Amino acid sequence: MPIEITCVAPTRSAIGEGAVWDVGDQRLWWVDIPHGLIHRFDPETGANDTFDFGEPVGCIARREKGGLVIAAKSGFWFFDPENGAREHIGDPEAHLPESRFNDGGTDPQGRFWAGTMKDMGTPEPCGAFYRLDTNLSVSKWKDGFWTTNGLAFSPDGSRMYLSDSNPKVRTIWACDYDGDTGTPGEPELFFDTRQAKGRPDGGTVDADGCYWQAAIEGWCLRRFSPKGEILETVEVPVEKPTKPMFGGKNLDILFFTSLGQSVTQREAQPEAGSLFAITGLGIKGVPQARFKG
């Protein structure tokens, strides 16, 4: 079966991001960060419903108790897109008004992880990764990042991946992960993207334990072995893919979001910022846990 890439939701978002497939409702959830929009795509009907959160949204996850958990400009929130109900959990960076949350997701145990970045003014390495536990306590794990990104967990939950997209860093790391306590080990170099085109953006893993990277500014997605070896490069029709995520009934469709603002060669990528789907890869993903808090 040949590989096919299709634009399935032509939103032309400013910063399409945060793709997460929910096995329970069989929908792909994703966001347009600066516009604060949350999208819900149904591959069976092609419908892409949109909900306005009212402030920049970095990443989201479905919540086991219903609705969503969100990492936004003003911290962690619960949000019910059906009725608009909002509940603020807390803002660990209220003292950094120029920062916001960026990439994140759940670990296999149902904790919610999200990273921050400075979004206004002169860039600085003041980003950090935070863990929202199921009792709603918030813990900072590690700081000193420019643009937190690439968060994903191996299928067995024993490994955590993360990256920094900033041109000064453009590095992917991996570390051991203790699922019982939610504690990562010390990050070790996984791949320095100076060796290949495109900086590291969002990431996910497949059922074989391989890590997928959206190569922003690289016009491609890249698949790595658990040892950090490039196994496959999939060229895509947009310059700035941002977040891959396996979905569909059989978890064999690789969806990816993209960035629409500040792209070059606009005429060559009219759907930049939209949601795309790749079929025919012959590879399956792993289910994403819902937040259990």
The catalytic site residues sit at 201
Please indicate if the annotation marks 17 as binding a ligand: yes
Please indicate if the annotation marks 271 as binding a ligand: no
Please indicate if the annotation marks 149 as binding a ligand: yes
CA dist 195 and 273 (Å) reads 26
Please indicate if the annotation marks 100 as binding a ligand: yes
First to last CA, the chain: 41
Please indicate if the annotation marks 201 as binding a ligand: yes
DSSP label at residue 121: S
3-class SS at 162?
Answer: strand
Alpha-carbon 5 to chain mean position: 19
Contacts of 84-89 with C-beta under 8 Å, sequence gap 24+, read 84/51, 89/132, 89/136, 89/138
CA dist 274 and 17 (Å) reads 10
Q: How many CA atoms lie within 13 A of 125 on its CB side?
A: 11
Q: Which residues contact 119 (CB under 8 A, 6 or more apart)?
A: 56, 98, 99, 100
Dig out the tokens for 104 from the structure.
Answer: 């994140």
Q: Which residues contact 248 (CB under 8 A, 6 or more apart)?
A: 21, 43
Using CA atoms, how far residue 171 sits from 76, 99, 137, 200, 213, in Å, is 26, 21, 29, 7, 11
Known binding positions for substrate? 100, 102
Known binding positions? 17, 100, 102, 149, 201
Known binding positions for a divalent metal cation? 17, 149, 201
